Amino acid sequence: GKTIKLLLNKHPYADAMIANLENFKKLTGMEVVYDVFPEDVYFDKVTAALSASSPEYDAFMTGAYMTWTYGPAGWITDLNEWIKDPAKTNPKYAWDDFLPGVKNSCAWNGKPGGALGSEDAKQWCIPWGFEQNNITYNKAMFDKAGVKVPGSMDEMVAAAAKLTKDVGGGVYGIGVRGSRSWATIHPGFLSAYANFDQKDLNVSADGKLSAAMNTAESKAFHKQWVQMIQESGPKDWSTYTWYQVGTDLGAGASAMIFDADILGYFMNGGTNKMAGQLAFAGFKANPAAKAPTPNIWIWSLSMSNFSKDKDATWYFLQWASGLDHCLFGATKMDFVNPVRQSVWKDEVFREKLNKSYPGYVEMFDASAPGASIKFTAQPLFFDLTTEWAATLQKMVAKEVPIDEGLDKLAESINGQLKEAGLG
């Protein structure tokens, strides 16, 4: 007869869980109550509860990046203690079933620059559903303009320009994010950048961090990215977030996006004008790379360190991230992308995707082995990455030349790292 309380973001993953909650209650006799908030205020609600050491919420949804703040602050629990205890974890939970790149991206040892998923890493959260960044495109528009799916950065720049010129009706070639936020860097931009073996930061042998985005290769990549936005991006690119990028694709205002695969998935359904007309492809920016290397966003579940009943909370977390619920969500709801390998092998799920989301399964299979968080884990992540986005805006607006802009950004970042005792 125990009760636990959850803090949830308004999201299809939360919807899938709520739709299946009666099953959990029947199985366990436990009561689960929850608060749901829209994303624009959600993370503030999490920070407010955790920073006040509030026992109100037992578990909550989080992005993996946020745990780089919450973990070292002592606000969340290292879940290894539960996962590795056979008395507390059902043998059928199958921790090995989680995609390794995704699982490891949710674990960090708390040392700035420490590799994600290292031997001494703490499991700050359990992956729940995740996004890889690839191409979603409008097949009819590509056919009309005689454009093939791009297989490199050069081809993407050229394809976007041709689509902008030839599709007509005010359609622009490519949607990518552009707002002054860390979230502009993490989707398509970082996925392509990492494909050229470029990093955000260097970590020296003695653990010191320094800026890595002013290399010759990085400057060449930034030039292409900026040119692509100037020639073929949306007019108000500097205001574009997840929502604008997706909405334009769904409304037929853009010919393709290089963003979260699940954003394309959602736009290919519902009441969107282009529902049923979109297709999917993995993207390899670097012609010399063997496969795509998408950076990922992982909606995850964390346990509050202030929970009054951690064992009951872990019981719930096992169910919510367990195979039965993942299969229910993937086949009956829009719980994509699943984080478990066995769900991707499920014929019902693959058939659902093959029928309505052309190219999705192939895109996933090609990208998943190289999919992981490509950022360096460190406490200034949000500030430094937002500054990178601000610099990108200046370059696109032609307020600063690319080489000079990146040199200045690196200098500023190195100063901040030194000031924080990290550089």
- Give the tokens for residue 348: 């019902």
| Strand residue runs (E) in 98-208 | 107-108, 122-123, 126-138, 201-203
Tokens 């996006």 belong to residue: 257
| Domain identity same for 338 and 386 | no
pLDDT at 98: 99
| Domain identity same for 34 and 51 | yes
What's the number of domains the chain is made of? 2
| Domain identity same for 239 and 163 | yes
| Domain identity same for 194 and 162 | yes
| Domain identity same for 201 and 317 | no
State mean pLDDT over 393-415.
Answer: 99
54, 125, 129: which is closest to 314 by C-alpha? 125
Confidence of residue 1 (pLDDT cuts 50, 70, 90): confident
Boundaries of domain holding 326 = 3-131+297-366
Alpha carbon distances (Å) from 366 to 279, 284, 292:
15, 10, 7
| Domain identity same for 287 and 303 | no
pLDDT at 230: 99
| Domain identity same for 173 and 208 | yes
pLDDT at 345: 98
| Domain identity same for 67 and 177 | no
Q: What percent of the chain has pLDDT over 90?
A: 100
- What's the whole-number average pLDDT of the chain? 98
Q: What letter does residue 181 receive in the DSSP assignment?
A: S
**Which residues does 7 contact at the CB level (< 8 Å), separation at least 6?**
34, 35, 37, 45, 46, 49, 57, 59, 60, 61
In this predicted model, what pLDDT tens digit does every residue of 148-178 receive, in sequence order? 999 999 999 999 999 999 999 999 999 999 9
State mean pLDDT over 121-137.
Answer: 99
CATH number at residue 194: 3.40.190.10
In this predicted model, what pLDDT tens digit does every residue of 280-298 receive, in sequence order? 999 999 999 999 999 999 9
Does the predicted model carry a pTM greater than 0.75? yes
- Give the tokens for residue 202: 């260097």
In this predicted model, what pLDDT tens digit does every residue of 88-113 receive, in sequence order? 999 999 999 999 999 999 999 999 99
pLDDT at 246: 98
364, 344, 298: which is closest to 105 by C-alpha? 298
Confidence of residue 5 (pLDDT cuts 50, 70, 90): very high
| Domain identity same for 104 and 195 | no
Query: What residues form DSSP beta bridges with 7?
Result: 35, 60
| Domain identity same for 151 and 285 | yes
State which of 322, 339, 366 marks the end of a domain.
366
| Domain identity same for 65 and 107 | yes
Own/partner pairs, 358-362, CB within 8 angstroms, 24+ separation: 358/139, 358/279, 358/280, 359/279, 359/280, 359/281, 360/261, 360/265, 360/280, 362/281, 362/282
Q: How far apart are CA 90 and CA 296, in angstroms?
A: 28
| Domain identity same for 313 and 357 | yes
